[in-house]
Structure 1
Amino acid sequence: MKKSILLFFFFGMFFPVLLLAQTEPNDIALANDEFQDSFYESLLQKGIENYDKAITALEKCQKLQPNNATIFFEFGKNYLAQKQYVKAYSSFEKATQIDPKNKWFWVGMYDVCYETKDFSQAIIIVTKLIEFKKEYKEDLVSLYMNTQQFDKALNLINELNETVGKSEMRDNYKLQILRESKYQNSEKDNLIAQIKKFPKEESNYIALIYLYSESNQEEKALEIAKKLETEIPTSSWAQVSLFKFHLNNNDGANAVKAMNIVLESKNIDQKIKHRILNEFLIFINNKPQFDTDLEKAIAYFDTDTAVKVALEIGKFYHNKKDWDKAIKYYEKHLNTNSEDFATQILLFEVYTQKMQFDILAKKAEDLIEIFPLQPQFYYFAGLANNQLQKFKKASSLLEMGLDYLVNDKALQINFYIQLGEAYSGLGDVVKKESYFSKAEKILKEKN
């Protein structure tokens, strides 16, 4: 009795029984019971993934109610589960023909298109689904992308950005589309229109500045940057473009102001900040009046773990053979990264270039006390003591360092040369010639 009541409620709600005229009451009851039992059986078999049996039960239902849309919908679900895509699509389609106002019948057709990657047909179905639910426009964007209808995708992205707000997915799609220059002009027009409509929306200015810069329209990029600065005086993004403009005009003072605003901003990506610092570094080469500004700029990156800014600036000046500044920034970096052996070696190379052998000797010997297994420190300590004519100390340090040297032929050659120099200073000709010969032998083997 409970089963009959439940089934009556279920089918009475969703599956109206279609009867022929002049049918006897007893016949009606029997047909209705048979339909309900068969339908219940189909649901049961589908639930345990016996799709063939579910379909057999549905065929009995169809004979009793040949125009019941829900039966075709159930056929579609079972065929889809079996990956019989043609039959599944045909069944869902038949359901929509009987009852075109039921959203789920259309969803069934969409599911088949999605499974078979028939994106062109899916566009037709989703266009219909949008009538039921506007959110399907998001699906339509993806379908346009998959079918490379980028112009339609871009128009729909812009529509959705304005009506429902931006999304990460649509932003990524838009970036992909705008890599092709032929779509950039329409996007520029769209952004100009958006700026007129929403003059306080910063992201539209930023996107337009980027597009103008990418297409080498620097004057227009500057114009938009100035407009952004006027409309939103607190915008740090405006200063990104203005910074470059000031550099191009050799206006260091205003470039510094713009740079500081950008570096202070929490809204600007670190990569952009690094780029600005690099551009400023190149600009101030041979302009010592900006040294203090550079120091302040570097301080913004003290907590940056991704890029060691002081180290990179040290390397910059190292390559330019500006030894004093290279030392300054290497030492600044080492103040907080004392175990960075590679930078210690770079610093020692600069001390050597500066012929500051007293400083080099002390620092190298101090590091030997802390890190006694690092052969490079023994080498520089020996080199410095040789130059200071402390030959006995040099030879002792160099011979100790050799014990820690492993598979580094270039450094081994340098050790032997310095040992030759040390014993030359000590007047030991035999050892001098021995070490110079060892250096020469390894050099020949390398070549």
Structure 2
Amino acid sequence: MKQKIYLFIFTIGMLIFPEVNYAQVDFNKLPNDDLGNNDDEFQELFYEALKQKSIENFDRAAENFQKCIALNKAVPVLYFELGKSYFKLKNYNAAEDALKKAVDLEPDNEWFLDELYGFYAGQNDLDNAIKTVKQLVSYHPDYKEDLASLYVKTKKYDEALQLLDELDTKFGVSIARDRLRNIAYEATGRKKDQIENLESRVENNPDKESNYLALIFRYSENNNKEKAFETAKELLKTNPNSQLVHLALYKFYLDENNTDKAIESMKIVVQSTQIKPEAKVKVLSDFVNFVKQNPQYEADLLEATAMVSQEDNEKSLLEMGQYYLSKNDKPKALEYFEKALAQDSNNFAVLKNILLLQIDLQDYKQVEEKSTDALEKYPSQPLLYLINGVALNNLNQPKKAIDTLEIGLDYIIDDVKMEADFYSQLSKAYTLLNNTDKAKTFSDKAQQLKN
């Protein structure tokens, strides 16, 4: 809704200000109409109503506005203010009646209409909102955009698209209107019309990057990769400095096995200040999968990762960690996960990966130290107690292992496998202490859970 311009009345004199046209009551002259000697009373009541409204005493405000109306039923602003007071009191039927009365008395008052429109929109009374906003479109073009939005909400898509076309022709395209347009196209299945609209934008404004990008996206969405690729190359020809186009070109080049071009585009993407971190990570993730099948390009992957800015680097480091993990290169995976944790020390998932890798690599001293520190930060995470117990057992410190494992058992909730692992480690600890009875007891418990 167009930002409302609220009507402030500081003096009763404003009621007779020519531009507002409230000339029915003139407090600057002696009474000469059917009000008799009520001018002073009316003025006092009106001021009191405004005062009560200003301190949010809407009951009293409404009461005084009603008294004013009893003295003079022909002043539109009284109904306007009464309607707003009733709305604050959640007396919606009375609010609607009062606002409609204000509009009836002064049908060309934009502020009255806008308030009534806002009332209907707030009550989700879309039919009446449409009826009211149609009266407002002559005041400001923003109301036409409101009307288009209401048409979309009421599934009057043809009317919505017609209005959007008018607005785009007059004012140029906008993101907000495009959202409405895309909803209408999607709901009606008019993908051909949607693409034709974008094609005409490119033709009419060939220097605007966003038109090409939107068209590339829609072609791709409709599985017309050839057209999408052609449009992307056309954009690059028109705008050689475009960075965003490489988000599309990168993938197209990979699909046609033009690896050198794909790598070139990827490097532009990861260094771009215009492209969001999530998109960069997606590109790196795609290239990680490509390098798994084509390991001869691993050096290019490492170079691209090194190009990523500090802000985006954590996610790219995680991608590299997962890449080396998939290759079963655990030392290299650990290296990248540790770098990622250094950038975000609160990432528990990365910490877990590091500890599990260190166990696999039998670096039990590091596991014990890191998991002990982690328990101070995450004292209710049972996995950390288990990892700590594993490390202590392997460092031949079974008594400490038993202490930490028994504490960790209390934090397990509905995880039978983990509980069995705890019992297995307790059995191992008691075996190290030569307590065969307890070792067997915990071994049996673990076996029962596994079965």
Q: TM-score range by the shorter chain?
A: 0.7 to 0.9
What does the per-residue CA deviation read over 1:44-74, in whole Å, with 9 as the maximum and x for residues that have no partner?
3532344345334334434xxxxx5xx2453
Is the alpha carbon distance of 1:88 and 1:323 closer, same or farther for their aligned partners in structure 2, counting shifts above 3 Å?
A: same
Task: Give the one of 97, 121, 124 matched to 1:117.
Answer: 124
The aligned counterpart of 1:87 is: 97
**Structure 1 residues 232 and 300, CA gap change in structure 2 (3 angstroms):** same
Report which stretch shifted further, 262-271 or 148-157: 148-157
More moved, 190-199 vs 296-305: 296-305
Match of 2:262 in 1: 255
Greater Rg, structure 1 or structure 2? Answer: 1
Tell me the SS of whatever aligns to 2:341: coil
User: Any idea what the Cα deviations from partners look like across 1:32-55, whole Å, max 9, x if unmatched?
Assistant: 865755653552353234434533
Structure 1 residue 261: Cα displacement: 1.0
Count of paired positions? 393
Q: Give 1:278 shift.
A: 1.5
* Contact kept? 2:271, 2:309, Cα under 8 Å: no
Q: Which residue of 2 aligns with 1:75?
A: 79
CA contact (8 A) 2:82 2:95 kept: no
**Aligned residue runs from structure 1 range 226-305, under 5 A:** 226-301=233-308, 303-304=310-311
Say if 1:79 and 1:243 are closer, same or farther in 2 by CA, change over 3 A: closer
Distance in 1 between residues matched to 2:340 and 2:83, nearest whole Å: 67
Deviation at 1:400, TM superposition (A): 4.6
| Residues 29 and 240 of structure 1: CA distance in aligned 2, closer, same or farther (over 3 Å) | same
Q: Which residue of 2 aligns with 1:216?
A: 223
The CA deviation at 1:288 is: 2.1
Percent pairwise identity: 23
Q: Which amino acid aligns with 1:40?
A: Q
Alignment partners' CA distance in 2, 1:147 and 1:74: 33
Equivalent position amino acid for 2:401 in 1: G
1:436 CA displacement: 7.1
1:445 maps to which of 416, 441, 448: 448
Q: What are the superposed Cα offsets for residues 366-403 of structure 1, whole Å, 9 maximum, x if unpaired?
A: 554666576636735866xxxxxxxxxx6x34565344
Q: Is the 8 A contact 2:250 2:265 kept in 1?
A: yes
**Are residues 316 and 35 of structure 1, via their aligned partners in 2, closer, same or farther at CA, if it must alter by over 3 Å?**
same
Alignment partner of 1:323: what SS? coil
Report the AA paired with residue 131 of structure 2.
I
Superposed displacement of residue 255, structure 1? 1.3
Higher relative contact order (Cα pairs below 8 Å, separated by 6+ residues): 2
Aligned pair in 2 of structure 1 residues 281, 155: CA closer, same or farther (>3 Å)? Answer: farther
TM-score normalised to structure 1 length: 0.72
Determine if contact 1:95/1:105 at 8 Å carries over to the other structure.
no
Contact 1:202 1:228 in 2 (8 A): yes
Whole-Å Cα distance in 2 between the matches of residues 435 and 7 of structure 1? 92
Counterpart of 1:365 in structure 2 is 365
Secondary structure of the residue that 1:57 maps to in structure 2?
helix
The RMSD of aligned alpha carbons is: 3.9
Q: Report whether the alignment pairs 1:343 with 2:349.
A: no
Partner of 1:137: 144
Task: Work out the CA distance in 2 between the residues paired with 1:219 and 1:46.
Answer: 69
CA–CA separation in structure 1 for the residues paired with 2:304 and 2:218: 28
- The match for 1:426 is none
3-state SS in 2 of match to 1:216: coil
Match of 2:16 in 1: 11
* Counterpart-to-counterpart distance in 2, 1:403 and 1:333: 29
Please tell me the residue identity of whatever aligns with 1:323: N
AA aligned to 2:98 is: A
Offset at residue 292 of structure 1 (A): 0.8
Residues 355, 367 of structure 2: 8 Å contact kept = no
* Contact kept? 1:73, 1:92, Cα under 8 Å: yes
Equivalent residues in 2 for 1:159-238 (5 A)? 159-160=166-167, 163-164=170-171, 169-170=176-177, 172-174=179-181, 176-177=183-184, 179-180=186-187, 182-238=189-245
Q: CA deviation at 1:189?
A: 1.9
- CA distance in 1 between partners of 2:17 and 2:316 (Å): 74
Structure 2, unmatched stretches of 5+, are 1-10, 53-59, 87-91, 374-384, 410-418
Corresponding residue number in structure 1 for 2:46: 43
Q: Is the 8 A contact 1:92 1:108 kept in 2?
A: no
- Structure 1, unmatched stretches of 5+, are 1-5, 19-25, 63-67, 352-359, 384-393, 424-430
Q: 2: distance between equivalents of 1:37 and 1:331?
A: 85
CA distance in structure 2 between the partners assigned to 1:86 and 1:381 by the alignment: 74
Once the two structures are TM-superposed, the CA of residue 192 in structure 1 deviates from its matched residue by 1.4
Distance 1:162 1:234, change over 3 A: farther
TM superposition shift of 1:213: 1.8
Task: State the one-letter code of the partner of 2:202.
Answer: I
Distance in 2 (alpha carbons) for counterparts of 1:297 and 1:347:
25
Distance in 1, matches of 2:309 and 2:116, equals 58
- Tell me how far apart the structure 1 counterparts of residues 286 and 12 of structure 2 sit (CA, whole Å): 76
User: Quick one: which amino acid aligns to residue 364 of structure 1?
Assistant: Y
Letter in 2 for 1:134: P
SS in 1 for 2:223: coil
Contact 2:133 2:143 in 1 (8 A): yes
Q: After TM superposition, give the deviation of residue 127 of structure 1 in Å.
A: 2.2
Q: Structure 1 pair 341/442, CA: closer, same or farther in 2 (3 Å)?
A: farther
Q: 1:348 to 1:107 in 2, by over 3 A?
A: closer
